[in-house]
Structures are given as structure tokens and as C-alpha cells.
Amino acid sequence: MDTSLALVSILRQGSYLIASIHTALDDSQLLRFQRDLIRDIGVHRSDGVIIDVAALDVLDSFGSRTLRNIAEMARLRGAETIIVGIQADVAFAMVELGMDTGSVSTALDLEDGLAHLGRRGRHAGPR
């Protein structure tokens, strides 16, 4: 737990969780991050998750698959996921390699991600 806290921070902001990945994670760290985040959704009764990957200058196929899985699991637990801050190089590399985040929403940065969840919240109504 200690190591993953240093690499990733998961903050609570109202009914949202904001998870910032600070550095490239290896596979086991990614899985630990996934486990922690999914658990925290239940703990905080969150309905929105923002994963900020702005600090990453590379995202491999396992990474993007894990992000997709997190989004899917979060949806099953009642929270919408949005990935923010994908760098230009990373975005193009992901597309070049045929990886994509599937149906997961993306936004330019944290601010846009919050706005996106807020808009959705208005339509969905209070929980």
C-alpha cells in the first residue's frame, strides 16, 4: 500500500474520486491501483472517477487495457470514469499501436473532466 500511495494518489472530491498517476507503473502496481480504486468507489460511495494520466509520457497496452477494465468495473459499481490528460505523443502512440480506451470518455485535463462529470450529473439527477 505504501508504495502505491507514492506512485498514485486517490483523492475524494465531493462524490467524485480523482486518481492521479504520477509516474509510469509496472503491471503489478497497475493491478494494485485498480484494486484500490475500485474498493474506494464503494468506500466513498462515489459516482464519478477521474483518472489523470498527464504525468505519463508512455502508456503500454497493458496500461490502457487496465484503464479500460477499471472504467468497466467502476461502471458496474455505479461510477462513471473519465480519463484526462493524455499527452499528444501518448495519444498518437496508442492509436498507432491499435490500442484504445474503448468506450471510456476522455477529456483534455482535470478541469474538463470535472465539467464533463458535472454535466452528466445534472442530466442524471442527484443520486
Site string for other proteins, 43-82 (x = CB under 8 A): ----------------------------------------
Q: Which of 36, 60, 72, 109 binds other proteins (CB under 8 A)?
A: 109
Contact 10, 36 (CB under 8 A): yes
Please, which residue, 3 or 61, has the CB nearer to other proteins?
61
Identify which range of 16-24, 36-44, 70-78, 107-115 contacts other proteins by CB under 8 A: 107-115
Q: Is 112 in the site for other proteins (CB under 8 A)?
A: yes
Contact (CB, 8 A) for 64 and 100: yes
**Number of C-beta neighbours around residue 117 at 10 A:** 24
Is 86 a binding residue for other proteins by CB under 8 A? The answer is: yes
CA atoms of 106 and 87, how far apart (whole Å): 12
